[in-house]
Amino acid sequence: MPGRPSTLKIELDEPTRIVLDGWLQRRKTPFGLVKRVQAILSLSQGRSFIATAKQVGLTERHVHSWARRFVEQGPQGLYDRPRSGRKPLFEPSVALYAVKLACERPDKHGVRSPSGIVERLHTS
């Protein structure tokens, strides 16, 4: 097998293999998670990191990172970590008020269309 040998060995017990196979069979498993599971299964069969990376379409570096996380955390380590995301533009109270207005009838506010509500927001 091409590729350098690694000290990181992936060995799967039967319950873990069942979990990973289940993720592969589910239709709603995120695509990135499917690639990571395929990589782990490939590594557990003794393939090198280079061969696995080519097979699943990831870089060797990423395959190694996911394998390390799998060894440290088990199957849960294959999920993406939460990201901080974009900071909100408005405070939650302002956003809730805007949603409330959008869900109400325009004539309740003395205007004929939703654009009238927006005009009122700009003037107040």
Which sequence spans correspond to the domains of the chain? 14-78, 92-123
Alpha-carbon distance of 29 to 11, in angstroms, equals: 23
Task: Give the residue-averaged pLDDT of 56-60.
Answer: 95
Concatenated DSSP letters of 61-83: HHHHHHHHHHHHHGGGGGSPPP-
Q: How many CA atoms lie within 13 A of 73 on its CB side?
A: 13
Return the DSSP state at 7.
Answer: S
pTM of the predicted protein model: 0.66
Q: Is the pLDDT of residue 2 over 60?
A: no
- The model's confidence at residue 90, banded by pLDDT at 50, 70 and 90, is confident
Task: Give the residue-averaged pLDDT of 95-119.
Answer: 72
